[in-house]
Amino acid sequence: MSKYSIHQFVQKTKQDENAREFFELETDRLLEVNLNGLVWAKAGSMISYEGNIKFEREGMLEHGLGKFVKKAFSGEGAQLMKAHGEGKLYVADSGKKITVLDLEGESIYINGNDLLAFQDGLVWDIKLMRRVAGMMAGGLFNIRLEGEGLVAFTSHYEPLTLLVTPDKPIYTDPNATVAWSGSLEPDFVTDIQLKSLFGRGSGESVQMKFSGNGFVVVQPYEEVYQALQK
């Protein structure tokens, strides 16, 4: 059905009043946070809220000098905001598909541009990809999260998870790589013969190589990252 009465439209698209989980997917591309306390989210991702919620941009030295220096070096868009209070918060990122993970003591790396929100209490740190920083638009960095709690990340279209085993390394385009398990440490390799086939988003023949045991998440889209506007 492509047209609705006003009543039909409201009934079809209204929020789910029964949502009670901390993170609820209202749609595949819209995350509802049932807030009673504090949550970290990507700066600029808030599209609506109700209740008594206060927002603060991440302080320059809030997480220590080390993380500040890393963020200053990266110059990219993992700027965070914190929302605290009680109410419903709705966040999204350019209509990208949202995936919610419940970490149970595990760790995961997420591309800094694709991290949408995470529960307070998770331990996190910024991982700079120095070897590839000069080869890609704006460089490349990732955030490692570990502990007990929920984390939401985004992807263009449906993500694909590839399993990595010792006998089967996985190669990916950095611009299409969304996340990977915390047990993996990627290497960066180049192959000039693949320049016209691999890494079109970066304009270079750079690939990420994952070896060991774990998984890597890719998206069917090569995302060119923009530098953070201060």
- Are 216 and 171 contacting, i.e. CB atoms less than 8 angstroms apart? no
Contacts of 50 (CB under 8 A, 6+ apart): 87, 88
Measured distance CA(117)–CA(82) in Å, rounded: 9
What is the structure's pLDDT at 130? 58
Measured distance CA(92)–CA(18) in Å, rounded: 20
144 burial type by CB count under 10 A (0-12 exposed, 13-18 middle, 19+ buried): middle
Q: What is the pLDDT of residues 16-71, one digit of tens each?
A: 766 678 999 999 999 999 999 999 999 899 999 999 999 998 654 455 444 544 45
Percent of the chain beyond pLDDT 70?
Answer: 73
What is the structure's pLDDT at 58? 66
What is the structure's pLDDT at 73? 42
Look over the chain and give the mean of its residue pLDDT values, rounded to a whole number. 81
Mean pLDDT of 200-207: 61
- Supply the Cα-derived Rg of the chain in whole angstroms: 19
Q: What is the pTM of this model?
A: 0.82
Identify which of 10-24, 65-79, 109-123, 190-204 has the greatest average pLDDT.
109-123
| Structural domains of the chain ordered from first start | 20-218 (3.60.160.10)
Residue 76 clears pLDDT 50, i.e. is over it: no
Residue 149 clears pLDDT 50, i.e. is over it: yes
What is the structure's pLDDT at 4? 75
What is the structure's pLDDT at 7? 76
What is the structure's pLDDT at 112? 87
What is the structure's pLDDT at 138? 42
Measured distance CA(218)–CA(64) in Å, rounded: 31
- Are 78 and 45 contacting, i.e. CB atoms less than 8 angstroms apart? no
Identify residue 142 by its one-letter amino acid code: N
The DSSP secondary structure of 110-172, one letter per residue, reads EETTTEEEEETT-EEEEEE-HHHHTTSTT--EEEEEEEEEEEEEEESSS-EEEEEBTTB-EEE
- Are 164 and 137 contacting, i.e. CB atoms less than 8 angstroms apart? no
Contacts of 183 (CB under 8 A, 6+ apart): 107, 212, 213, 214
127 burial type by CB count under 10 A (0-12 exposed, 13-18 middle, 19+ buried): middle
Query: Which of 7-11, 14-18, 52-56, 199-203 bottoms out in mean pLDDT, i.e. has the lowest?
Result: 199-203
Measured distance CA(147)–CA(73) in Å, rounded: 26
